[in-house]
Amino acid sequence: MTATRKAKQTAPKFENRVRFNWGYHDAALAVERGWACPERNFGFAVGGPMDGLASVADILARHFDRVYAQGWQAGYEDARDGMYEARGQNGEEAWEVAVRLGLVSE
């Protein structure tokens, strides 16, 4: 399992836009279901490498896929602020902002 995780960490199979999008929608779902809090580990599995999250910043610091984590943060903020539904559940604007700010690359 360690070898698989290592390979996954160093050579993602999907392009950045796809991985960002996964994070974006996963976070919106976590907010919708009430998981986006430390008490629910922000929707991540308990007992794994993401166990014990205290804040959204912890997700950015600890997730093995930086692009997914950036998408997660954007989705969390949009859902929390009511923008996820207002944008038609479309993360394109969040992706464009992240690229423009240099947080992710295309």
Question: In angstroms, how far is CA 84 from the centroid of its own chain?
Answer: 14
pLDDT tens string 1-36: 444 555 455 656 899 999 999 999 999 999 999 998
Q: How far apart (Å, rounded) are the C-alpha atoms in residues 99 and 85?
A: 22
Q: How far apart (Å, rounded) are the C-alpha atoms in residues 96 and 4?
A: 31
Collapsing DSSP states into helix, strand and coil, what is residue 89?
coil
| Nearest 10 degrees: Cα torsion 67, 72, 75, 58 | -120
pLDDT tens string 54-65: 998 999 899 999
The pLDDT assigned to 88 comes to: 87
Enumerate the domain spans of the chain: 2-100
Q: How far apart (Å, rounded) are the C-alpha atoms in residues 19 and 70?
A: 9
